[in-house]
Amino acid sequence: MKKTLLITLLAILLTSCWYLFFSKNSENNKSIPSTTSALELSNLKNVGSYEVYLPEKISLSENKKIILFFHAGWCPTCRALDKNINKNLTKIPDDVVILKVDYDKESELKKKYNVTIQHTLVVVDSNGNIIKKWSGGLTIDTIISQL
């Protein structure tokens, strides 16, 4: 009897730990969607956001300040800025859209904006014309101060 009770309690404890671990990780992964639905694209017109780059997001962000963040997963300063942005999503002003661009995959975009190093940020208009470009900055506050 005691053995059955102990096994049951252990199973409940393990299940609870498993649930807490996976629910916390799924919340952390919600901040930047890897694919975008039509609803998510239409939401770009209403709120400030931090999203994975897709070409159509630039033209859908009319009347917004669009920042392209050229990010590389192997870059420590890129990871630090990415972490800071994700921790401070509520600090992104309503008229700002930050698009996270994969530095290693978006070669044509790097050429277009003459991006030669990771951790480069480029402000563009809704037609994709460059307004401003800089490298560095480790917080959302430093990004916003550049606008």
Q: List pLDDT tens digits, range 107-121.
A: 999 999 999 999 999
Average pLDDT, the chain: 78
pLDDT at site 13: 54
Of 124, 74, 119, 125, the residue nearest 100 (C-alpha) = 119
Between residues 16 and 146, the one the model is more confident about: 146
Chain-centroid distance of CA 132 in Å reads: 20
Question: What region, left, alpha or beta, does residue 143 occupy, with left being phi > 0 and alpha being psi -120 to 50 degrees?
Answer: alpha
Of 63, 86, 100, 79, the residue nearest 140 (C-alpha) = 86
pLDDT at site 31: 45
Between residues 15 and 101, the one the model is more confident about: 101
pLDDT at site 41: 47
